[in-house]
Each structure stands twice: as C-alpha cells, then as structure tokens.
Amino acid sequence: MVHYGSGSLAPVLAEPTAFNIILSYFEFLNGFLPNDLTSILISLWPVVILVSFMFLTKRQNPFSPGIYLAMLGATVPIVLVYVASVLVTPMYLTRYLIAITPMFYILIAWYLKELKGASQAVIVPAFFVMLTVSLAVQGLSVNSPVRESYREAISFIEESTTPRDIVLVSPPYTIYPFNYYYKGNSAVSTLPIWNKKKGAIPETTEEVLKTDTAILRANRQKFYLMLTTGLHGSDIVKEYFDKHYTKLDKKQFSKDVWVEVYQAEYR
C-alpha cells in the first residue's frame, strides 16, 4: 500500500473485465445510479448494440472524417487503458476516462440526428426521458452511490452534540467536507488521529484505534462518529466501536454516510 504526502492512499484496483467497458459508457450517459437500477438499464445494452449495428448495415452514405475521428476518440483511449490494465497494472476507472466524453456525446448526437421516421420519433424522446430520470434519481435518491449527504449529517451533529461530546470523523480525509459545513462548538478529531504536519494518515488498526480513543475519550460523555462506509479503514473503525463501546443511536443520511453515537466509556 502506497502512502502519499497528502496522507491519502493509492487506490487498490482490481483487474477489469470487458463488462467494465460497457459500464463506463453507461456511466458517461447516466451517471452513477443505485445498483438495482443500473443492473436493469445495463441489461438493455445488448438491444442498444443490436439496433446500432442494424442502423450501420442499412446506412448508404459514407461517414465523414469528423465522425471517424469521434469514433476513434470515443473508443481508442478506453481500449488502451483496458489493455494496459490487463497486461501491465490495473488502472481502469471510469473517472480517469472522462476526457473521452465529448467525442462520445458527438457520436450520440450524430446517431440521433441520423435516425429517420418512426425510429427517430420513438428513440429520441425515450433517450431524453432516460437522461431526465437518471439525473433526478442521481440527485434525489439516498441510494445513489455518489450522493454523500455530509451537510445533513453535520446538521444533525450540530443539533445533537454538547461541549462535553466529541465528534470523530472517519476515514480521516473526510475531514475536508466536514470542515466545510461544520459550525458547531464540540471538539472534533479524525480517527485515526491525523496530524497533517507529520505527513500521511496512520494505518487503521485495532491497536491504533485503542490508543487514539483512549486519548480522545478523556472527560467526554459521548462519541459522535461520522463514518463514511465503503472507504479504506471504515469497517475496522465500526467493528472496533461496536465491540468496545455502547451504541446509543445511529442514523443513515445517504448510502454510505452514517452518524453513530456511542457512550464514551467501556461497557
């Protein structure tokens, strides 16, 4: 595992499969949707590909140089990154490939424009309805994988805490969105304790958590743990607190953002 001066950790990426390519194009169009909805919509991709091939086989006019360029720009970078991820080292993430989206959108616009008759009358409205629904779901659904409701979680903390409590933020790098919104008076610390002047974030281990919580619990009544699950070390922090402290309350604010309240004393 690689540490950087900012204290962040290098992402640990799995080797991609061909499905990752389809998923990337889906995310370029629809964004990051809840898993169930993503599965349903991606199951329609074979139909989309079939209709596209039928369109191409019936097309009489040659492609313009600009369309050839858009095709290359929308496919070649993804293929190169995919091959390098399989043969060299995993580096495939959709967000790293966002630079190809202008070419991809040009292709989509060209395809919709080239449709004629009943096909255009059905596909174009359906396409824009899909985009509108996707945007609404991504913005409003608490199950959206990229919707992190820190503002709501922090508002709850501000309303619930007293000066005798302490707010713990984990993983430590989520202190940045926390500080952006937090206006309360309670003491705040990351967990593990992160001294930015000394460099990288300490590795999250049970021994480190034992030492840090012993320091932080002094003269405190409650721990308010703002936990972002699914990130490195978050499962270790949650397991440690559930094992060693009495849980008083918990609230979920989005798919991965939780506030869990513990009594600041051993059972």
The pLDDT tens digits for 166-181 are 999 999 988 998 999 9
The number of residues in the chain equals 267
Confidence of residue 137 (pLDDT cuts 50, 70, 90): confident
More confident residue, 218 or 36: 218
% of residues, the chain, pLDDT over 90: 38
> Mean pLDDT across the chain, nearest whole number?
83
Cα separation, 145 vs 185, whole angstroms:
31
Q: Which strands sit side by side in the sheet containing 187-190, from one edge to the other? A: 187-190, 166-170, 222-228, 257-266, 245-252
Confidence of residue 192 (pLDDT cuts 50, 70, 90): very high
Q: Specify whether 129 is located in the same domain as 171.
A: no
Q: Specify whether 117 is located in the same domain as 75.
A: yes
Q: Specify whether 124 is located in the same domain as 28.
A: yes
The last residue of one of the domains, among 83, 116, 140, is 140
Q: Specify whether 132 is located in the same domain as 29.
A: yes
Confidence of residue 77 (pLDDT cuts 50, 70, 90): very high
Is residue 145 included in any domain, yes or no? no
Residue 138 has pLDDT above 80, yes or no: no
Residue 144: its pLDDT value, please?
Answer: 60
Residue 44 has pLDDT above 50, yes or no: yes
Residue for token pair 């619930």:
160
Nearest 5°: CA angle at 241, between 239 and 246?
Answer: 125
Q: Specify whether 234 is located in the same domain as 158.
A: yes
More confident residue, 116 or 237: 237
Residue 4 has pLDDT above 50, yes or no: no
Cα separation, 52 vs 56, whole angstroms:
6
The last residue of one of the domains, among 106, 140, 174, is 140
Cα separation, 159 vs 182, whole angstroms:
11
Q: For residue range 193-252, what is the model confidence (pLDDT) as tens digits? A: 998 877 778 889 999 999 999 999 888 999 999 999 888 888 999 999 999 999 999 999
pTM: 0.57
With beta carbons less than 8 A apart as the criterion, state whether 196 and 7 touch. Answer: yes
Which residues, in sequence order, are bridge partners of residue 3? 9
Is residue 246 included in any domain, yes or no? yes
% of residues, the chain, pLDDT over 70: 87
Which residues, in sequence order, are bridge partners of residue 222? 263
Confidence of residue 84 (pLDDT cuts 50, 70, 90): very high
Is residue 13 included in any domain, yes or no? no
Cα separation, 196 vs 5, whole angstroms:
9
Is residue 162 included in any domain, yes or no? yes
Cα separation, 204 vs 236, whole angstroms:
7
Which residues, in sequence order, are bridge partners of residue 250? 260
Is residue 100 included in any domain, yes or no? yes
Q: Which domain holds residue 125?
A: 18-140
| Structural domains in the chain (count) | 2
Q: Specify whether 102 is located in the same domain as 47.
A: yes
Mean pLDDT of the region 84-97:
89
Token code pair at residue 114? 């080239």
Residue 75: its pLDDT value, please?
Answer: 92
Q: Specify whether 160 is located in the same domain as 115.
A: no
Token code pair at residue 132? 């509108």
Q: Specify whether 38 is located in the same domain as 129.
A: yes
Is residue 105 included in any domain, yes or no? yes
Q: Specify whether 158 is located in the same domain as 254.
A: yes
Residue 187: its pLDDT value, please?
Answer: 92
The DSSP 8-state label assigned to residue 218 in this structure reads T
Is residue 7 included in any domain, yes or no? no
Q: Specify whether 114 is located in the same domain as 157.
A: no
Cα separation, 243 vs 230, whole angstroms:
19
Confidence of residue 156 (pLDDT cuts 50, 70, 90): very high
Q: Specify whether 119 is located in the same domain as 173.
A: no
Cα separation, 244 vs 148, whole angstroms:
27
Is residue 220 included in any domain, yes or no? yes
Confidence of residue 261 (pLDDT cuts 50, 70, 90): very high
Q: Specify whether 222 is located in the same domain as 133.
A: no
Confidence of residue 149 (pLDDT cuts 50, 70, 90): confident
Residue for token pair 């709501």:
152
